[in-house]
């Protein structure tokens, strides 16, 4: 008979406490079914523009198969700096204020590890991307939720923020345009947030991965306001705008002191981002804006279609200014967001993500991605309409 010699669990307390992503659970359910129309996908339905793929292939053919510098190809960092300057009026030095990472996700992780000591609190504006709180915990910090509400279209209000600030608060994570709500913040609204951040001497991690997908007005970064550059870590990547999710390529820009600290962690753990992906990204930045504009146009049309269709079937749905998600309220059905999503999947084979997985304030809503063909959206809305009629909406 085999007897285990293990007398204890080898898992760290952190790993044990980490909750699995609510999205994952729903993915497992949906992936077992056939014929599902999915509005649950958080990535573009476009494939990476061919000239970007070709640039990457070309780099392999020319033998660029080794490491790049830890911070990423200087040529790419220089192009990122030009892009941030031209597009969002942000000024950085390619030499020591930018690093190229393995997706925006790694940039977030490294940034948090660079700034947090055990017990530091980080404000997380919810509903938000599922990884923020977990990344804070993994870096030894304590995530503190700042819930936003549908009444204010999920915008971050200064008073909501101020209420959660304590002596331990070190940073705040922002994400606008937002995943899952699609909410954007105007220049004035962001300026108000910036004032509070400065007043309490906080750092900001701003995840602006969806910045290119802004439909109503020009995207504004919080890093742009007076006195904000030195306290902001700007994070973005190529996944959403250039349809390059699988390439895992992102970047962070910020004050040299923080970026150099991030670079140390990055070089000990990742070494550098994949070289061929960096060459693809370089091509994307240099000549890919026409592709972006075409995709944005298509997303905007589908967003309009989806919001109006939700309103037509009687569900409240604000018009999101960015990203590729709508976040309608399903409260009228009397179901929780999990019940709604599960029943919709079983009864009509439409996959959506329940809003509660994105944190406080997400309950009563579902996230629907419109990064799906128009014909699929039309069919999905027919099915959702049929489904909600059963619940007397």
Q: What residues line the site for another protein (CB under 8 A)?
A: 21, 23, 26-27, 30-31, 36, 38, 40-43, 45, 129-131, 179, 297, 301-302, 304-305, 308-309, 351, 353, 374, 378
Tokens of 301: 């049309």
Minimum Å gap between C-beta 374 and another protein is: 7
Q: Is 244 helix (H, G, I), strand (E, B) or coil?
A: coil
Q: Are 323 and 299 in contact (CB under 8 A)?
A: no
Nearer to another protein, 27 or 88 (CB): 27
Nearer to another protein, 302 or 365 (CB): 302
Nearer to another protein, 205 or 353 (CB): 353
Minimum Å gap between C-beta 42 and another protein is: 5
Nearer to another protein, 149 or 311 (CB): 311
φ/ψ of residue 155, rounded to 5: -80, 155
Query: What is the Cα–Cα distance from 383 to 309, expressed in whole angstroms?
Result: 12
Residue 318 buriedness (CB in 10 A; 0-12 / 13-18 / 19+):
buried
Nearer to another protein, 114 or 371 (CB): 371
Q: Are 139 and 113 in contact (CB under 8 A)?
A: yes
What is the enclosing helix (H) or strand (E) of 354?
strand 353-354
Minimum Å gap between C-beta 199 and another protein is: 33
Half-sphere exposure of 338 (CA within 13 A, CB side): 9
Nearer to another protein, 80 or 249 (CB): 249
DSSP letters, 275-305, are HHHHHHHHHHHHH-HHHHHHHHHHHHHHHHH
Minimum Å gap between C-beta 307 and another protein is: 8
Minimum Å gap between C-beta 333 and another protein is: 20
Q: Are 217 and 185 in contact (CB under 8 A)?
A: no
Minimum Å gap between C-beta 245 and another protein is: 8
């Amino acid at each position: 008979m085999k007897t285990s010699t293990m007398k204890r669990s080898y898992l760290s307390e952190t790993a044990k406490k980490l909750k699995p992503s609510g999205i994952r659970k729903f993915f497992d359910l949906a992936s077992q079914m056939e014929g599902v129309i999915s509005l649950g996908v958080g990535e573009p339905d476009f494939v990476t523009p061919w000239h970007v793929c070709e640039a990457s292939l070309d780099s392999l053919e020319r033998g660029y198969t080794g490491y790049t510098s830890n911070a990423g190809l200087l040529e790419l960092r220089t192009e990122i700096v030009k892009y941030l300057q031209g597009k969002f009026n942000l000024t950085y030095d390619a030499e020591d204020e930018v690093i190229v990472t393995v997706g925006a996700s790694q940039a977030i992780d490294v940034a948090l590890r660079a700034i947090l000591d055990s017990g530091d609190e980080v404000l997380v504006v919810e509903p938000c991307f599922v990884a923020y709180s977990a990344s804070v915990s993994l870096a030894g910090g304590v995530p503190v939720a700042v819930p936003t509400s549908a009444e204010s279209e999920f915008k971050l209000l200064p008073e909501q923020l101020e209420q959660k600030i304590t002596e331990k608060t070190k940073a705040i994570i922002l994400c606008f345009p937002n995943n899952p709500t699609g909410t954007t913040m105007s220049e004035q609204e962001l300026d108000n947030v910036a004032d509070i951040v400065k007043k309490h001497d906080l750092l900001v991690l701003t995840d602006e991965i969806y910045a290119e997908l802004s439909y109503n007005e020009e995207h504004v970064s919080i890093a742009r306001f007076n006195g904000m550059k030195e306290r902001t870590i700007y994070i973005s990547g190529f996944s959403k705008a250039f349809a390059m999710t699988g390439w895992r390529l992102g970047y962070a820009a910020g004050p040299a002191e923080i970026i150099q600290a991030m670079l140390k962690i990055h070089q000990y753990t990742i070494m550098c981002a994949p070289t061929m992906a960096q060459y693809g990204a370089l091509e994307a930045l240099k000549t890919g804006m026409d592709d972006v504009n075409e995709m944005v146009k298509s997303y905007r049309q589908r967003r309009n279609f989806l919001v109006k269709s939700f309103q037509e079937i009687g569900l409240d749905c604000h018009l999101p200014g960015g990203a590729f998600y709508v976040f309608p309220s399903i409260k009228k059905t009397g179901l929780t967001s999990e019940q709604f999503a599960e029943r919709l999947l079983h009864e009509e084979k439409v996959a959506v993500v329940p809003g509660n997985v994105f944190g406080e304030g997400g309950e009563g809503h579902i996230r629907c991605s419109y990064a799906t063909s128009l014909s699929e959206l039309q069919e999905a809305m027919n099915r959702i309409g049929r489904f909600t009629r059963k619940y007397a909406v």
